[in-house]
């Protein structure tokens, strides 16, 4: 199992990404355009919303408005990958990362989850969860 090291520098980077995501919620229209292929999403991750965490973790975090009928419903969307072809992060590391991003650590609380093949050949675990009022 690979180590996960979250120190002061990583915590500061995480706080920056969270704040950026809070201030730039991805609209339902943008999500639909990506799904329909009208807009090509950035492959794998977006540096403005990503954090590199030792040893070899890449975390991308956004907030998304998933429901056109209810724009007040906002979801956390986190993608956690590792830097090794064919590998994915371990469950415990993902739970620690979820906690750092203010997300639930119980996978049963996720609105949706999926595994994504990344451009570099690794596998990213993607998790979506409802943003609570105090998050």
Burial of 35 (0-12, 13-18, 19+ CB in 10 A): exposed
Count of structural domains within the chain: 1
pLDDT more than 70, % of the chain = 91
Please, are residues 88 and 115 in contact by the beta-carbon 8 Å criterion? yes
Residues 6+ apart with CB under 8 A from 123: 81, 86, 87, 88, 115, 116, 117
Greatest alpha-carbon pair distance for the chain in Å reads: 43
Residue 25 lies in a domain: yes
99 located within any domain: yes
Helix H, strand E, coil C: the string for 18-73 is HHHHHHCCECHHHHHHHHCCCCCCCCCCCHHHEEEECCCEEEEEEEEECCCCCCCC
Q: How confident is the model at residue 15 (pLDDT cuts 50, 70, 90)?
A: very high
Nearest C-alpha neighbor of 94 from the set 135, 68, 61: 61
Phi, psi torsion values for 73, nearest 5 degrees:
-85, 115
**Structural domain that includes position 30:** 8-130
Q: Is 112 part of a structural domain of the chain?
A: yes
- 86 in any annotated domain: yes
Residue 135 lies in a domain: no
Residue 54 CA neighbour count, 13 Å, CB half: 7
pLDDT given for residue 67 in this prediction:
72
**Average pLDDT estimate for 38-59:** 80
Q: For residue 50, how many other CB atoms are within 10 A of its CB?
A: 18
Does any domain span residue 54? yes
With respect to residue 83, please indicate whether it lies within any of the assigned structural domains: yes
pTM: 0.87
Q: Does pLDDT of 121 surpass 70?
A: yes
Statement: residue 100 has pLDDT above 80: yes
Residue 41 domain-assigned (yes or no)? yes
């Amino acid at each position: 199992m690979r180590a996960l090291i979250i120190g002061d520098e990583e915590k500061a980077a995480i706080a920056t990404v969270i704040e950026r995501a809070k201030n730039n919620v991805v609209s339902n229209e943008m999500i639909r355009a990506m799904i329909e292929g009208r807009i090509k999403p950035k492959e794998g991750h977006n540096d403005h919303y990503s954090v590199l965490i030792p040893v070899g973790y890449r975390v991308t975090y956004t907030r998304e408005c998933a429901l056109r009928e209810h724009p007040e419903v906002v979801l956390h969307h986190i993608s956690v990958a590792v830097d090794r072809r064919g590998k994915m992060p371990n469950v415990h590391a993902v739970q620690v990362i979820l906690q750092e991003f203010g997300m639930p650590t119980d996978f049963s609380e996720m609105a949706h989850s999926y595994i994504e093949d990344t451009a570099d050949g690794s596998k990213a675990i993607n998790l979506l969860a409802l943003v609570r009022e105090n998050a």
